[in-house]
Structure 1
């Protein structure tokens, strides 16, 4: 006869395994190999493109990324002071804005730029309304315009979780992957 405490332990293990599998399925992240970056370099957060229907999602992601970048103690972090993100309907305006921001960063003698795009920023429709965020980040060498690293991911949360919290976790995970070799 199997002892009831043994069955309870097996049941707990199964529940734990199912929960971990469920949690792991809520996030997808892909990124390149982290570049070797200078520790005390100047950084700038450039405008993020907003590919969503949520107004100013790019600005929200920029603010989170800047705060998380500063928390890494990697050097001085600025934010591009240009006008607030426009919700451009045409890709040409987005590209022009990005080029202007990169030119400004060169004038400021900034070494690295963090830029990106927001592909999802919403609460999913349904009974629970789970928060979902999708973000792409790039680390750019300002002097050459070369993309040194890029990563992308999507994350969803539980119905009682804030969208900003889900986005913060996703951006933190991406930044950790891109900043692992700061010297």
Structure 2
């Protein structure tokens, strides 16, 4: 009888451990949601970060992601990063509205002599409803070469965190993971994958 109780206790503990391990998850990479970036962004290339599209019902989620994305792009080695002018982003605290057409933002980037544009969309930015209130983030990221209007990198992912994690921390982890696939040539070094 005690052997059976020990086995049941052990199985219960193992089940709890497996359940807890599944609380935080990240889904990125793989052939289904990340393309390989063939060409690297040269140190001399100008890169424009365009407005992040907000497809959530959370006001200013796009602006929050933009702050994280700008940091991650600069940390990746992109030296000539230019952030779009605020006039191209109609999302405000008091009157959240749809973004202007992506074509208008790309037109601005071309007029500024940019080689690449980075675009993104946030489709989830919330704490899940329930007892734990876990943070959940879903993002899409693309790099487009303006010299030929081709998307050279595309990635999407989602991440959830534990009930005690901050939403911004989960967003930063996911943003950093998505940006990690962007190839950047460091000044004075040959073209290499990051």
Q: How does 1:76-115 map to 2 (within 5 A)?
A: 76-83=80-87, 84-86=89-91, 87-88=96-97, 94=99, 96-115=100-119
8 Å contact from structure 1 (residues 43, 76) kept in 2: yes
Which stretch shows the higher mean deviation, 74-83 or 125-134? 74-83
Query: Given the alignment, which residue of 175, 178, 182 partners 1:174?
Result: 178
Alignment gaps of 5+ in structure 1: 1-9
Equivalent residue number for residue 36 of structure 2: 33
Greater share of helix: 1
Q: 2: CA distance between counterparts of 1:60 and 1:76?
A: 22
Equivalent residue number for residue 50 of structure 1: 54
Give the deviation of 1:143 after TM superposition.
2.9
Q: How many pairs were matched up?
A: 167
What are the Cα deviations for residues 59-106 of structure 1, in whole angstroms up to 9, with x where unaligned?
Answer: 1111111111011122211110132343445xxxx4x53111111111
TM-score by length of 1: 0.80
TM-score by length of 2: 0.76
Alignment gaps of 5+ in structure 2: 1-9
4+ residue runs over 4 A deviation: none
